[in-house]
């Protein structure tokens, strides 16, 4: 195992923050939500438009992939073949949408013709929702690690984006050394998970990982708690006790909240780190073989922080700086989906989770939630996202329920992580009913029973259209039709899906999607 002296002066400080790294930037699209949930987190590079001025984004292009997997297009019948055109002009990107294309929203605003994204917005990431079903994030990517390193260390650190892949690679590089590591980042960014990943990937993995909250240690008891005590060392010490350093012998000691270490303890801790020797209370000096990983969200260099500079430098033989979730929003979809599966599975309610077989209005509802989450600033970071996921699972009893408190929180202006000039995402309120049942059916038929065109033509929200379908006699969604009625219509029109859909008063795209899913199920 490498000694501290071998690597202390040769290994540079490691920053997981890809903001600090140089390199060529590329424009990327990441799938935040897709009815085929296996696609969540996959991305496509739009490059910097070398030799061309525009790129088409739609049903069949571009292809999205992860790792070495073959790229696949969005392939959703509700999305136009040319939903958007990305036009590059110096440091700006203009999004253009034709009137005939499927519905598009950008950072919560319905898009009618075109909008301009400046460099600041592209650095932050812009949420695009296609057809009310697929959520994408367009963002700049500074650095991509090799495909091999992405696969080497998945551990418990979820995320398919460049930042998380870069973090996993850096953990792998540090794990094979034996230097002490300081992990810095806001509350809820996953500092303890990183510590566990470092230990699990190291040569110390078979020994203990001992975690201690430094802020919770009473000053008077600190020496015995950290370094142990001999029998009779103090009144009531009827037997010897091992301190945290001895408990972690041969393994890793994780000092959480190290920035809150009481000032009186800091000199003792510094000496142990320098000498790798502990003074047992009432006993002898003993050597310890321990790797120390510490974590803090405190600004240790700040003058208001009573943290000794010498201890700071000794703890941070190498540093990992974790980005807040708002700085790598491309991972929100992957994380949220993983948390949802975990919590819904624990309650036995997986039937509420989205899939390609879900009803259209359920897909729209999930897409809306994922889009709100990717635009939210996440002050509590990954921990907050996990808590929200659990609240949704707990609230969903007989049916899916998204607590109003969550919707209210992620929709407040001060919590939206969007460009200052971009209006915040507002909760869309369905317009009052302005049509009689007969007038609605006529308008819906004029739109060929397609929800988005009907919503535009009648000035209603998609949610209002779905509600009117439920109330209108003789109308239903393609997913709700009986299979025998579909087959009768197909036989009557010699397999013409468009004609069959019109006779059944349902969307042709939705009917095609249902037939395709049924074929997949039969083949499977």
> What DSSP string describes 183-202?
EE--TTS-HHHHHHHHHHTS
Its pTM stands at 0.74
d(CA 251, CA 203): 9
Mean pLDDT over residues 91-116, rounded?
86
Instruction: Place 419 in a pLDDT band, splitting at 50, 70 and 90.
Output: very low
Q: Which residues contact 494 (CB under 8 A, 6 or more apart)?
A: none
Residue 150: per-residue pLDDT: 40
Query: Which range is least confidently modeled, 214-223, 354-363, 410-419?
Result: 410-419
Instruction: Place 63 in a pLDDT band, splitting at 50, 70 and 90.
Output: very high
Q: What is the pLDDT of residues 329-356, one digit of tens each?
A: 999 999 999 999 999 999 888 889 999 9
Q: What is the pLDDT of residues 247-260, one digit of tens each?
A: 999 999 999 999 88
* Tokens matching residue 95: 């999004």
* Tokens matching residue 262: 């009481």
- Across-strand partners of 253? 210, 292
User: Terminus-to-terminus CA distance in the chain, angstroms?
Assistant: 50
Mean pLDDT over residues 103-132, rounded?
89
Residue 100: per-residue pLDDT: 79
> What DSSP string describes 159-171?
--SHHHHHHHHHH
Tell me how many degrees the CA angle 207-211-216 measures, rounded to the nearest 5: 155
- Across-strand partners of 115? 95
The β-bridge relationship of strands 209-213 and 252-256 is parallel
Q: What is the pLDDT of residues 222-232, one digit of tens each?
A: 888 888 877 65
- Give the H/E segment covering residue 132: none
* Tokens matching residue 50: 């070398």
Residue 268 burial class via C-beta count within 10 angstroms: exposed 0-12, middle 13-18, buried 19 and up: middle
Residue 123: per-residue pLDDT: 86
Mean pLDDT over residues 176-202, rounded?
93
d(CA 69, CA 323): 27
**Domains present along the chain, CATH in parentheses:** 18-141 (2.60.200.20), 178-323 (3.40.50.300), 327-415 (no CATH), 437-523 (no CATH)
Q: What is the pLDDT of residues 11-49, one digit of tens each?
A: 334 445 444 444 567 889 999 999 999 999 999 988 755
d(CA 65, CA 29): 11
């Amino acid at each position: 195992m490498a000694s501290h002296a071998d690597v202390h002066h040769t290994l540079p400080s490691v920053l997981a923050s890809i903001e600090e790294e140089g390199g060529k930037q590329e424009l990327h699209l990441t799938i935040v939500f897709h009815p085929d949930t296996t696609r969540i987190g996959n991305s496509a590079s739009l490059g910097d438009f070398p030799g061309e001025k525009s790129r088409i984004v739609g049903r069949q292009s571009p292809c999205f992939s992860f790792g070495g997997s073959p790229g696949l297009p969005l392939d959703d019948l509700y999305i136009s073949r040319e939903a958007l055109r990305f036009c590059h002009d110096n440091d700006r990107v203009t999004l253009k949408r034709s009137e005939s294309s499927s519905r598009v929203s950008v950072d919560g605003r319905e898009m009618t013709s075109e909008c301009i994204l400046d460099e600041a917005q592209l650095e932050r990431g812009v949420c695009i929702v296609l057809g009310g079903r697929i959520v994408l994030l367009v963002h700049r990517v500074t650095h991509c690690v090799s495909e091999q390193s992405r696969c080497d260390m998945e551990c418990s650190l979820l995320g398919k984006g460049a930042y998380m892949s870069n973090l996993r690679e850096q953990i792998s590089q540090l794990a094979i050394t034996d230097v002490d590591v300081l992990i810095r980042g806001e509350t809820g960014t996953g500092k303890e998970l990183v510590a566990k990943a470092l230990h699990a990937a190291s040569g110390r993995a078979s020994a203990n990982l001992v975690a201690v909250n430094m802020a919770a240690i009473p000053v008077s008891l600190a020496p015995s708690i950290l370094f142990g005590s001999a029998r009779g060392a103090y009144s009531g010490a009827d037997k010897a006790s091992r301190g945290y350093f001895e408990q972690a012998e041969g393994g890793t000691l994780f000092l959480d909240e190290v920035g809150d270490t009481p000032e009186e303890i800091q000199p003792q801790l510094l000496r142990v780190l320098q000498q790798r020797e502990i003074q047992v209370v009432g006993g002898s000096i003993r050597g310890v073989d321990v790797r120390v990983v510490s974590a803090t969200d405190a600004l240790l260099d700040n003058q208001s922080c009573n943290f000794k500079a010498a201890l700071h430098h000794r703890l941070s033989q190498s540093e990992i700086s974790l980005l807040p979730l708002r700085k790598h929003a491309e991972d929100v979809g992957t994380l949220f989906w993983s948390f949802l599966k975990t919590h819904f599975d624990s309650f036995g309610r997986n039937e509420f989770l989205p899939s390609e077989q879900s009803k259209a209005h359920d897909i729209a509802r999930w897409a809306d939630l994922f889009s709100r989450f990717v635009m939210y600033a996440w002050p509590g970071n990954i921990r907050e996202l996990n808590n929200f996921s659990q609240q949704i699972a707990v609230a969903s009893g007989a049916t899916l329920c998204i607590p109003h408190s969550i919707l209210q929180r992620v929709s407040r202006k001060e919590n939206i992580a969007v460009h200052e000039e971009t209006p915040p995402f507002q909760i869309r309120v369905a317009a009052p009913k302005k049509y009689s049942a007969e007038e609605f059916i006529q308008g819906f038929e004029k739109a060929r029973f397609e929800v988005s065109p009907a919503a535009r033509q009648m000035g209603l929200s998609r949610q209002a259209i779905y509600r009117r379908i439920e109330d209108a006699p003789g109308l239903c969604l393609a997913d709700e039709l009986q299979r025998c009625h579909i087959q009768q219509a197909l036989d009557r029109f010699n397999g013409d899906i468009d004609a069959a859909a019109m006779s059944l008063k349902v969307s042709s795209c939705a009917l095609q999607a249902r037939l395709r899913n049924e074929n997949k199920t039969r083949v499977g």
